[in-house]
Amino acid sequence: MTTLKGATNPHLPTPLVTAASEQTITVLLVDDQATVNEAIHCMLETEANLTYHYCSRAEKALQIATEIAPTVILQDLILPDSDGMTMVKKFRANPVTCDVPIIMLSTNDNPQTKAEAFAIGVNDYLVKLPNQIELVARIRYHSQAYLNRQAHTAALLAQAHAKELEQTLQELRQTQAQLIQTEKLSSLGQMLAGVAHEINNPVNFIFGNLTYIDTYVQDLMKLVQLYQDKHPEPDSAIQAHLEDIDYDFVMDDLLKMLRSTRMGAERIVQIVLSLRNFSRQDHQEMKPSNIHEGIDSTLLILSHRLKLGINVVKDYGDLPLVDCYPAQLNQVLMNIINNAIDALLDQPNQQKKEIIIHTSKINKNHIKIQIKDNGPGIPLAVQTKLFEPFFTTKPVDKGTGLGLSICQQIIANHQGTIQVISKPDEGAEFTIQLAVQSTVA
């Protein structure tokens, strides 16, 4: 029996048994000696699940190997039309055969030659002609190991592909959900813009008429006063009517009513302006905007929730106009303030509920918006996931888990930052930093 000389361990371990063991073993012999071919063919012809191919010329070996995809290559060290070492390098350079096990066959038993062969990528080295049992064992061992590697690689590729598909599906779901959320906000904006437009016309009519009504009332009151000055003693009928209508009270109350009506009309005008400011559909280009107007309009939209017992403290600094997409930034403010309201309303036993909004200049190029509540705070484990898509601590019917994720994307699109600072029972504070002048192309 011929043993493998020059190897660390002449005893080959049994390869793992997998589904690959049922696959066909394909052997390619590259040797110019017909007697060697006949001998090896005889050794292998009765082996199950094994096919045998022979090539006598080195120049054809690579082509045949590419066609048959062998699981092991038996190659002579000395070939008439090519150096055996060079042939090994060609096999290793070819993508089809680069990993196929190569068993070198040679009459040369020199350790240095063996070392050179192993150095360039030979997997095994046998002095020919080897014993049949040993040859079959080595062929099966190397083929099985090769097939196992291929199966493992295929499994890894399939796993990676499945993971990639899952990630793509997750991104599609996220994009779809964001589109739905954006569409909802867009619909809200369109509705508010429509309401503001419909209210604006009659309000302008009322507000304009109030100016004339005030002038006319003043003129009539002056006329009555002149009559009183010229006729200080009215007849009994006029005197009785003055007493019936309580003339002094009516005149005083009428002026108060006019003032309160004007204040109400002015308030409606401000509400309309806030609605229009919040609903601006200006996603196409940035523009210098008043951050405080955006905050005020957002608070107006949420005023029905704030009236449930939440005090808002506005601590506005002296801010310049900031380049931004106003409607998008209002969306961020809406989400953060709305979350703060949710946190506070979930504390029915808390007496003082407060949201503090502080704005300031960091330097001449950057501003900061801080929105802080005195609610229960956010646990650290939740903070690390707060901006992840679809993560929410709210019930299914109250939150999609996209609000803060969208906020982060919007602020990132503005080349700004958004951070949260919170401790249990000490509330939560969101800090937004924005550049005064945008560098977004």
| Fold of the domain built from segment(s) 19-154 | Rossmann fold (3.40.50)
pTM score of the predicted model:
0.46
User: Which tokens go with 409?
Assistant: 């994307």
Q: How far apart are CA 143 and CA 101, in angstroms?
A: 7
Q: Does the pLDDT at position 313 exceed 50?
A: yes
User: CA of 435: how far to CAs of 361, 367, 369, 438, 440, in Å?
Assistant: 10, 6, 12, 6, 10
For residue 310, give every residue at least 6 positions away whose Cβ sits within 8 Å of its Cβ, in sequence order, or none.
341, 344, 345, 353, 354, 355
Which phi and psi (to 5°) does residue 369 adopt?
Answer: -120, 125
Angle between helices 291-301 and 326-345 (to 10 degrees): 50
The C-alpha angle 412, 417, 420, rounded to 5 degrees, equals 125
CB 428 within 8 A of CB 420: yes
CB 133 within 8 A of CB 1: yes
Q: Which region among 12-21, 223-232, 301-310 has the lowest average model confidence (pLDDT)?
A: 12-21
In the structure, what pLDDT confidence band is assigned to residue 317 with cuts at 50, 70 and 90? very high
By residue count, the chain amounts to 441
* Domain made up of 283-441: CATH architecture: 2-Layer Sandwich (3.30)
Q: Does the pLDDT at position 16 exceed 50?
A: no
User: Which tokens go with 194?
Assistant: 């429509």
Q: What is the pLDDT of residues 399-439, one digit of tens each?
A: 555 678 778 888 988 889 999 999 888 899 999 999 998 77
User: Mind giving me the DSSP string for 176-235?
Assistant: HHHHHHHHHHHHHHHHHHHHHHHHHHHHHHHHHHHHHHHHHHHHHHHHHHHHHHH-SS--
User: Which tokens go with 267?
Assistant: 């308030």
Residue 369 host element (H or E)? strand 366-373
Q: How far apart are CA 298 and CA 355, in angstroms?
A: 13
The helix/strand count (H/E) of the chain reads as: 12, 14
Location of each CATH 3.40.50.2300 domain in the chain = 19-154
User: CA of 58: how far to CAs of 169, 211, 382, in Å?
Assistant: 49, 106, 66
Q: In the sheet where 72-76 sits, what is the strand order?
A: 50-55, 25-30, 72-76, 102-106, 124-127
In the structure, what pLDDT confidence band is assigned to residue 217 with cuts at 50, 70 and 90? confident
Segment 165-182 shows an average pLDDT of 75
Angle between helices 236-245 and 247-278 (to 10 degrees): 40
Q: What is the DSSP letter of 398?
A: T
Average pLDDT, the chain: 82
Q: Which of 261, 333, 266 lies closest to 302 in space, CA to CA?
A: 333
Q: How far apart are CA 330 and CA 350, in angstroms?
A: 28
Location of each CATH 3.30.565.10 domain in the chain = 283-441
Which phi and psi (to 5°) does residue 159 adopt?
Answer: -65, -45
In the structure, what pLDDT confidence band is assigned to residue 323 with cuts at 50, 70 and 90? very high
Place of tokens 């004339």: 212
Mapping DSSP to helix (H, G, I), strand (E, B) and coil, where does residue 302 land? coil
| Residues above pLDDT 90, as percent of the chain | 20
Residue 248 or residue 399, greater confidence: 248
The C-alpha angle 79, 81, 83, rounded to 5 degrees, equals 55
For residue 343, give every residue at least 6 positions away whose Cβ sits within 8 Å of its Cβ, in sequence order, or none.
373, 375, 376, 428
In the structure, what pLDDT confidence band is assigned to residue 398 with cuts at 50, 70 and 90? low
User: Which tokens go with 218?
Assistant: 């003043």
H helices present in 231-301, as ranges: 236-245, 247-278, 291-301
- Looking at residue 305, its amino acid is R
Q: Is 55 exposed, middle or buried (0-12, 13-18, 19+ CB in 10 A)?
A: buried
Considering only the C-alpha atoms of the chain, give the largest distance between any 2 of them, rounded to a whole number of Å. Answer: 151
Q: How far apart are CA 215 and CA 258, in angstroms?
A: 11
pLDDT value for 394:
67
- Looking at residue 242, its amino acid is L
Segment 316-328 shows an average pLDDT of 90
Q: In the sheet where 428-435 sits, what is the strand order?
A: 311-315, 354-363, 366-373, 428-435, 417-422
User: CA of 233: how far to CAs of 224, 229, 245, 247, 340, in Å?
Assistant: 13, 9, 18, 15, 67
